[in-house]
Amino acid sequence: MFLWFIGTSIVTIWYVFRDPRFDYRLLVVGSVLPPAVDGWFGGARFMHSLAVSVGLLALVMLITTGRRPIRRTLLGLPLGTLLHLVYTGAWTDTTVFWWPFSGWGFGDAPLPVASRGWWNLVLEVIGAALVVWIWRSAGLATPEARRRLWSTGQLWFAARPGP
């Protein structure tokens, strides 16, 4: 299940920041990173904890002090992991979400995606619709827009939300 996280993360950041210079590449990586990493450990682990995402955000802010262009690029990664926590419902497992403050163990917590069952199909269809909307609104049918996305990570949306 990837389209749900990719679509919701891009739309959320676009709607909140409305910054045409935002780099969406690492946002997409961050939005799918927690299940990719924790999947290797057999369930929800440290990547599904708030502490890791906030720590990653703090690290990016510290290492990019005084370097705004690289900060704008790197901020996508922790924002993506934070949005993954929101859109996966990671807070429903307090042991994992509040790790290490709730203890050092994870128990046998499954990935939130795995515990949703057939709802994943519904969410993935919604994610696919969001990706289609992003494709059309950002004009990604044109080679120029795709080149800009690959080289700068920028999406220029034609549609703007209301006031």
- pLDDT at residue 162 greater than cutoff 50: no
Grade residue 159 by pLDDT with cuts at 50, 70 and 90: low
Percentage of residues in the chain having pLDDT higher than 70: 97
DSSP character string of 41-95: TTSS-GGGSHHHHHHHHHHHHHHTTT-HHHHHHHTHHHHHHHHHHHHHTGGG-HH
Average pLDDT of the segment spanning 49-76: 94
